Amino acid sequence: MTNKDEDPNKKIPGEFYISSDEKDRIIDKFVSELLLQSEIIKKQRNAIDHYRKKLEEKEAGDPSIEIVVSQEETSYNDVGGLDDVLYKIKHFEYGMTHAGTYTHFGETPPKGLLMYGPPGCGKTMIAKAMSNELGCWFLEIPLSTIISEYVGKAEKNLNNALKMAKKTYEDSGTKVMVFVDEAEQMFRKKGRNVGHEVIDRCVNVWLRTMDGMGSNEGLIFVAATNYLESIEPALLRAGRFDYLIEIPKPTLAGVEDIFVKQMGVRERKAERQIYCVSEIENISGRMYDVGMTGADITEVLKRASLQCIRDCIENPIVKDIPTVTDSLLMKVINDYDRVQKQKRKFGFDVGNG
Ligand SMILES: Nc1ncnc2c1ncn2[C@@H]1O[C@H](COP(=O)(O)OP(=O)(O)OP(=O)(O)O)[C@@H](O)[C@H]1O
Ligand SMILES: [Mg+2]
């Protein structure tokens, strides 16, 4: 037999022998490790690019504001005790949904909505529900992300945020709700901001923005405040935030409506019955007597649920999952009220419950 005819798998004594199957396995392993490495490198490179872009944006003065579609799943059906308010909101919405009809009568639709009233009564909730019902994007502009110690930067940040809103509308064709919560800060009366002149300059940006007729297409302006008297009056004139709605503290019937609706929201989320409550009127009456707002009612329901959660965890052998009962709710309401009164006595602001 010549060299050419030699069996390739023939073992040579003293030499390290690898079968062809083993060779394939090693090569496969090597290749998959290589692929994994290259995937990691790719991810690292993407991350570096991402941070470099963010850094560049930051240097260019962009505020870290994110445009997000409201994911709260809040709808008008969840808002309790405010039927009159929702009726007025509907009329404001006509300006967006039936703008042509306004033009037909030579009128311009309202441009901006300002909700005012005591804390915890549903202003932010209504704004979110409105963005969901209108199917628009929701962009909140908080003063804290706009403000900057550098001269001129705050106005630039605000302009950038508004530009971002316009661009989102142009790119997606979907309207954008620009929302300013705690508007008494962003829209504070001009000339009263000694040492904080930056606020005056931001108010000027808003005045210019609201006056920029055609350029605001696709934007819906909504703001909320606890202090209407602190808002710059020029911003409330026609063609600016000219649609004012008061969101009052709930009446007795309102408290009952909120109570029932909030229980519904929680049971919907849990997809089961949580409440075994027969004294709705009694409980609502107690809530009303101690002056509860929607936020307080939500907090009471949360505390009652937390009590049941603790019971579940601490008594796992009990067969029935505990439900929220009349007596538990009454106890939580009384405890909550006692703490609120104590906080008030010591000067804490308990506006939000
Ligand atoms: N009318 C209402 N119907 C149902 N739930 C309500 C109502 N008002 C308040 N709530 C509950 O209280 C929570 C807080 O309310 P919200 O933040 O909307 O109050 P707000 O008026 O914006 O208060 P603030 O002035 O302090 O910003 C809501 O998320 C909701 O769970
Ligand atoms: Mg709010």
The neighbour count for residue 200, using CB atoms within 10 Å, is 16
> Hey, which residues does 116 pair with through a beta bridge?
225, 246
Domains of the chain in sequence order: 76-246 (3.40.50.300), 252-345 (1.10.8)
Mean confidence (pLDDT) of the chain? 86
161 lines ligand 1 (CB under 6 A): no
Residues in Cβ contact with 31 at an 8 Å cutoff, skipping those fewer than 6 apart: none
In angstroms, how far is CA 48 from the centroid of its own chain?
29
Question: pLDDT digit string (tens) for 251-301?
Answer: 999 999 999 999 999 999 999 999 999 999 999 999 999 999 999 999 999
State whether residue 217 is helix, strand or coil: coil
DSSP-derived letter for residue 243 is: E
C-alpha distances in Å from residue 128, one per residue of 124, 184, 268, 276:
6, 19, 19, 30
- pLDDT, residue 193, reads 64
Whether 70 has a pLDDT exceeding 80, the answer reads: no
How far is the C-alpha of 313 from the C-alpha of 80, rounded, in Å? 32
Cβ atoms within 10 A of the Cβ of 205, count? 19
CA of 87 to the centre of ligand 2 (A): 20
**How far does residue 233's CA lie from ligand 2's centre (Å)?**
21
DSSP one-letter code for 241: S
Contact of 218 with 175, CB cutoff 8 Å: yes
List the Cα angle 262/118/241 in 5-degree steps.
105
Residue 318: strand, helix, or coil: coil
Give the pair of three-digit tokens for residue 213.
């007729």
Q: Which helix (H) or strand (E) segment is 304 a member of?
A: helix 294-314
Q: Residue 280's pLDDT is what?
A: 96
Residues 6+ apart with CB under 8 A from 92: 110, 113, 243, 245
Pick from 72-86, 268-282, 333-347: least confident: 333-347
d(CA 310, CA 308): 5
Span 35-66, pLDDT tens digits: 888 888 887 787 777 767 766 665 555 555 55
Give the closest residue (by CA) to ligand 1 atom 10. Answer: 294
CB 254 less than 6 A from any atom of ligand 1: no
Distances (CA, A) of 331 to 114, 292, 294, 335: 37, 15, 18, 6
For a pLDDT cut of 90, what percent of the chain falls above it? 49
Distance between Cα 320 and ligand 1 center (Å): 33
127 lines ligand 1 (CB under 6 A): no
The total number of residues written for the chain in this structure: 353
Q: Cβ(129) to ligand 1 under 6 A?
A: no
Alpha-carbon distance 343 to 138, whole Å? 35
Q: Quote the strand ranges of 74-182, DSSP E.
A: 112-116, 137-140, 176-180
For residue 226, how far is its CA from the centre of ligand 2 (angstroms)? 9
pTM: 0.79
Query: Where does the pLDDT of residue 68 fall: very low under 50, low under 70, confident under 90, or very high at 90 and above?
Result: low
- Cα 324 from Cα 266, distance rounded (Å): 12
For residue 228, the SS3 value is helix
> Residue 113 and residue 193: Cα distance in Å, rounded?
24
Ligand 2 centre and the CA of 42: distance in Å?
A: 43
- CB-CB contact of 169 with 210 (8 Å): no
Mutate to test the pocket of ligand 1, among 125, 131, 284 (most ligand atoms within 8 A of CB): 125
Retrieve residue 353's tokens: 């419950």
For 261-284, give the DSSP string.
HHHHHHHHHHTS--EE---HHHHH
Displacement of CA 281 from its chain's centroid (Å)? 32
